[in-house]
Amino acid sequence: MLPKNDKAYVEMVKRLLPSLKRREKGPYAIFECFQEIPCNPCLTACRKGAVDIFIDINHLPIINYEKCNGCALCVIACPGLACFVIDETYTKTETSIKLPYELLPLPKAGQEVEALDRQGNVVGKAMVIRVQNHKKMDHTCIIAIAVLKEQSLVVRNIRY
């Protein structure tokens, strides 16, 4: 069952996180994929071999954080738009989050936007760091935003 509120959701996501040591090293992917459905593009898209091979396509993907370098290929590949890349080393006070984004108009780098949680509630502000949108991404853009560190696991969308 999909968690009813954000707090429960954050608790589920916390269990996916790599070790503190790995988090201090730089960007890493997280897959907010909690339901077994027949799907594997994250596995086939990853060029680092960082998604543990699962033979049964219904199994949930598990990331090998020794291999994941936070490149965000999975963010574009996931049909469920459930992959995000977190970089807790972005600045002393801020985390950067790479979000999959398929709405128009696209924000611009340097733009201040509203930060939303998984229920669509505004939980603060975010700064757009970078917008990636090239042909190969086929309209699933990657928006990199900076949010306060304590919101790393809360912010999953933007509005402006």
- By the rule CB under 8 A, 116 interacts with other proteins: yes
CB of 19 to other proteins, least distance (A): 26
- Taking alpha carbons only, the member of 117, 136, 114, 133 closest to residue 125 is 114
- By the rule CB under 8 A, 140 interacts with other proteins: yes
- By the rule CB under 8 A, 24 interacts with other proteins: no
Torsion of Cα atoms, 116 then 126 then 141 then 62, to 10°: -70
Query: Is residue 33 within 8 Å of residue 79, measured between CB atoms?
Result: no
- By the rule CB under 8 A, 20 interacts with other proteins: no
Binding to other proteins (CB under 8 A) within 30-59 occurs at 32-41, 44-45, 56-58
Q: Tell me how far apart the alpha carbons of residues 30 and 130 are, in angstroms, rounded to a whole number.
A: 19
Query: Is residue 129 within 8 Å of residue 116, measured between CB atoms?
Result: no
Site string for other proteins, 76-115 (x = CB under 8 A): -xxxxxx-------------------xxx-----------
User: Rounded to whole angstroms, what are the CA distances from 20 to 11, 26, 66, 82, 89?
Assistant: 16, 11, 13, 22, 12
> For residues 33 and 131, which CB has a smaller minimum distance to other proteins in the complex?
33
Which residues of this protein are in contact with other proteins, per CB under 8 A?
Answer: 1-2, 32-41, 44-45, 56-58, 77-82, 102-104, 116-121, 138, 140, 156-157, 159
